[in-house]
Chains A and B, each alone.
Chain A
Amino acid sequence: MATKLRILVPVKRVIDYAVKPRVNKAQTGVETNVKHSMNPFDELSIEEAVRMREAKKPVEDILAFSAGPAKSQDILRTAMAMGADRGILVQEDNVELEPLGVAKLLKKVVEQEDRNLVILGKQSIDDDANQTGQMLAGLLNWPQATQASKVDIADDGAVTVTREVDGGVETLKAKLPMIITTDLRLNEPRYASLPNIMKAKKKPLDKKTLKDYGMDGEKRLKTIKVTEPPARQGGGKVEDVDGMISKLKELGAL
């Protein structure tokens, strides 16, 4: 009998990728009163899970999960409109979890919800840490395939993953249960249609808190400050190719 896939897809609400973040005056973070969206890599995770079901893989259910402020439920609704079956939100308005904390939380979700496949984005575009999936794999002692550009799951639960590495790709094979993180090359996420957005409103969304999982918001890293990167001054334009070459020579680049 084919191994049933019980998929967990963690998603994060982040500042929209097209918004240029601005550092706040107090130098404690960036201005957050801007457009937010689902982390682009997490859209790929949902898409991949939904495609597995569409490819007639034995998907039992797809659980979308997020931890963050109340507004994170918008992101979960989006995930459900794309095809996730249900959602869990750990609502914490004033706690910022670090990747290690998220990984610990996800471990508990994996255990409680009896998951055997977790698909995460390779990094969130706000903290750019690229850690959570690997940490979760370590805590669960499961195999991991990061930066996946192709995933194939056989009936017997063997998973073949092609991953993006420096200089090319490599292919790995492991067995479920497993952790996969997505690279941009994996797929092209779909847009949620209006009927699906309406349907998603009726899908179950459980609200929980860190306490429900026996956790607190302990942090290991202390933000000392957040600053603007040194501004680069555009050096102006040249008229022609000769101008370009002489300017490059002048700057010592040639």
Chain B
Amino acid sequence: MVAPIRNGVLRRAATCLRQQRSTPTIRPMSREALRRLASTLAILEQREGKLNLSSLASVSAAQKLGGSVHGFVAGSNIKSVADEASKVEGLEKVIYVENGAYDKGLPENFAPLLVENIRKGGYTHVLAGHSAFGKNLMPRVAALLDVQQISDITDIEGEDTFVRPIYAGNAILTVQSQDQVKVVTVRGTAFAAGAVEGGSGAVEEGTDPKAECPTEWVSEDLAKSDRPDLATAEKVVSGGRGLKSKEEFDKLMPPLADALGAAIGASRAAVDSGFADNSLQVGQTGKNVAPQLYLCAGISGAIQHLAGMKDSKVIAAINKDPDAPIFQVADVGLVGDLFEKVPELTEKLKSS
């Protein structure tokens, strides 16, 4: 086995890197040493033959680690997805496994598939997005590899040192992994997806252990929308309990979103009350967003909601309660009745 030796070298390089933090003149060299040694497998998502661009955040994160970066895709008619992925900047190679059994990303067979390919490639790091797919799959992979996964990282400090939010983003944890392979999920909004053109990675077929899947995929029901995807939108408008009903939510929020070209989000209160679909929930247990503009109306700003949006560049809030906690984080706050202010804002944005 080559892996342990390689890892020893890697660890020494990292130790060296840490010790030399204070002497910046030597650091670039150590960085270089590290770059040659780390090798990362970035798990890419696909859906019906289309590469999921938000999963490319794992590639950007991998590049921050240095070293070679390979992508991984699996499913039916996967070659075209692999070809598409091979053009992504920073990907040295794309490994694909052609098998319809992997189309739905069921972890029961996808995890053994990854384990096989991770072992074969001798990777030091395995990265995936902290999406529904990554959350479902990666801990199973980690357990099979006997590794303690690091979830939802927002920064990388070294080959074994990662930063992640805990307690709904109320504390920031820096951890160092002692595991041989680092299994990590990546917060999409913390690592901008790189260019999807300009790369020229090799494309190579991976191994397929063809593990049995005891789980049957039955159906799905996805909210259809022409609007930008909530998790990656540049602008998000979000409504809360203050909208009072689904009718008002549907009357006020879509026109505002259209005027801005924004995605629509909602607070848990709005989702629980049936004003908006579950998939629109922003917060600790819903989506994390970090758009250029997060404009919210009728949201008080509970800590669980703030967890999902406080990394937005600019936060604007409309609320009738001047003491609402949302105003403590909002860059622009407007105290007023949202039933007046939102339509007025929509009109003025349209005409401007």
List the A side residues contacting B220 at CB < 8 Å: 165, 168-171
Q: How far is the CA of A236 from the CA of B329 in the complex (A)?
A: 9
List the B side residues contacting A99 at CB < 8 Å: 139, 148-149
Cβ contact of B331, chosen from A15, A98, A133, A235, cutoff 8 A: A235
List the B side residues contacting A21 at CB < 8 Å: 167, 170-171
B190-245 interface with A by 8 A CB criterion: 214-223, 231, 235
List the A side residues contacting B49 at CB < 8 Å: none
Question: B102 an interface residue at 8 Å Cβ cutoff?
Answer: no
List the A side residues contacting B332 at CB < 8 Å: 235, 237-238, 244, 247-248, 251
List the A side residues contacting B138 at CB < 8 Å: 134
Check A100 against B333 for contact (C-beta < 8 Å).
no
B162-181 interface with A by 8 A CB criterion: 165-179
Within the complex, the shortest CB–CB distance from B180 to chain A, in Å, comes to 10
User: Which stretch in B58-66, B70-78, B91-99, B344-352 binds the other chain?
Assistant: B344-352
Question: A242 an interface residue at 8 Å Cβ cutoff?
Answer: yes
Question: A174 an interface residue at 8 Å Cβ cutoff?
Answer: yes
Check A100 against B140 for contact (C-beta < 8 Å).
no
Cβ contact of A185, chosen from B215, B218, B278, cutoff 8 A: B278
Given contacts A164-B279, A226-B173, contact A125 B167 (CB under 8 A): yes
The closest CB in chain A to the CB of B268 belongs to: A184
Cβ contact of A134, chosen from B136, B268, B292, cutoff 8 A: B136
Q: How far is the CA of A215 from the CA of B148 in the complex (A)?
A: 16
Cβ contact of B171, chosen from A23, A143, A149, A219, cutoff 8 A: A23
List the A side residues contacting B144 at CB < 8 Å: 138
Check B132 against A165 for contact (C-beta < 8 Å).
yes
List the B side residues contacting A164 at CB < 8 Å: 132, 278-279
Q: How far is the CA of A29 from the CA of B132 in the complex (A)?
A: 28
Given contacts A21-B170, A99-B149, A172-B218, contact A134 B333 (CB under 8 A): no
Given contacts A146-B136, A221-B148, A225-B174, contact A242 B348 (CB under 8 A): yes
Given contacts A184-B268, A234-B328, contact A131 B142 (CB under 8 A): yes
Q: How far is the CA of A174 from the CA of B106 in the complex (A)?
A: 12
Check B143 against A126 for contact (C-beta < 8 Å).
no
Question: A194 an interface residue at 8 Å Cβ cutoff?
Answer: no
Check B278 against A224 for contact (C-beta < 8 Å).
no
Q: How far is the CA of A239 from the CA of B136 in the complex (A)?
A: 46
List the A side residues contacting B161 at CB < 8 Å: 224
Check B176 against A222 for contact (C-beta < 8 Å).
yes
List the A side residues contacting B235 at CB < 8 Å: 253
Cβ contact of B334, chosen from A122, A172, A221, A237, cutoff 8 A: A237
Q: How far is the CA of A232 from the CA of B215 in the complex (A)?
A: 45
Q: How far is the CA of A224 from the CA of B329 in the complex (A)?
A: 28
Within the complex, the shortest CB–CB distance from B45 to chain A, in Å, comes to 9
Question: B135 an interface residue at 8 Å Cβ cutoff?
Answer: yes
The closest CB in chain B to the CB of A165 belongs to: B132
List the B side residues contacting A160 at CB < 8 Å: 218
List the B side residues contacting A54 at CB < 8 Å: none
The closest CB in chain A to the CB of B330 belongs to: A234
Question: B300 an interface residue at 8 Å Cβ cutoff?
Answer: no
List the B side residues contacting A130 at CB < 8 Å: 135, 139, 151-152
Question: B304 an interface residue at 8 Å Cβ cutoff?
Answer: yes
Cβ contact of A128, chosen from B167, B310, B348, cutoff 8 A: B167
Given contacts A166-B132, A241-B348, contact A20 B170 (CB under 8 A): yes
Check A244 against B316 for contact (C-beta < 8 Å).
yes
Given contacts A103-B143, A144-B108, A245-B345, contact A131 B149 (CB under 8 A): yes
Q: How far is the CA of A252 from the CA of B314 in the complex (A)?
A: 9
List the A side residues contacting B331 at CB < 8 Å: 234-235, 247, 251
In this complex, the member of B167, B268, B318, B345 whose beta carbon has the largest number of chain A beta carbons within 10 angstroms is: B167
Question: B298 an interface residue at 8 Å Cβ cutoff?
Answer: no
Given contacts A164-B279, A172-B217, A238-B333, contact A135 B140 (CB under 8 A): yes
Q: How far is the CA of A104 from the CA of B28 in the complex (A)?
A: 41
Check B166 against A128 for contact (C-beta < 8 Å).
yes
Question: B119 an interface residue at 8 Å Cβ cutoff?
Answer: no
Within the complex, the shortest CB–CB distance from A155 to chain B, in Å, comes to 18
Question: B11 an interface residue at 8 Å Cβ cutoff?
Answer: no
Check A221 against B142 for contact (C-beta < 8 Å).
no
Check A234 against B329 for contact (C-beta < 8 Å).
yes
Check A253 against B313 for contact (C-beta < 8 Å).
yes
Check A146 against B304 for contact (C-beta < 8 Å).
no
Check A168 against B222 for contact (C-beta < 8 Å).
yes
Check A138 against B171 for contact (C-beta < 8 Å).
no
Q: How far is the CA of A175 from the CA of B107 in the complex (A)?
A: 15
Question: B156 an interface residue at 8 Å Cβ cutoff?
Answer: no
| Nearest 10 CB-CB pairings of A with B | A134-B139, A168-B222, A220-B148, A138-B143, A235-B331, A131-B139, A135-B143, A138-B140, A253-B314, A170-B220
5 A/B residue pairs, CB under 8 Å, sorted by A:
A23-B171, A232-B310, A252-B292, A253-B235, A253-B293
Known: A23-B171, A248-B314. 18 other contacts (CB 8 A): A20-B303, A21-B167, A21-B170, A99-B149, A128-B166, A135-B149, A138-B111, A138-B141, A160-B218, A167-B222, A221-B177, A226-B171, A240-B336, A245-B349, A245-B352, A248-B316, A251-B331, A253-B316
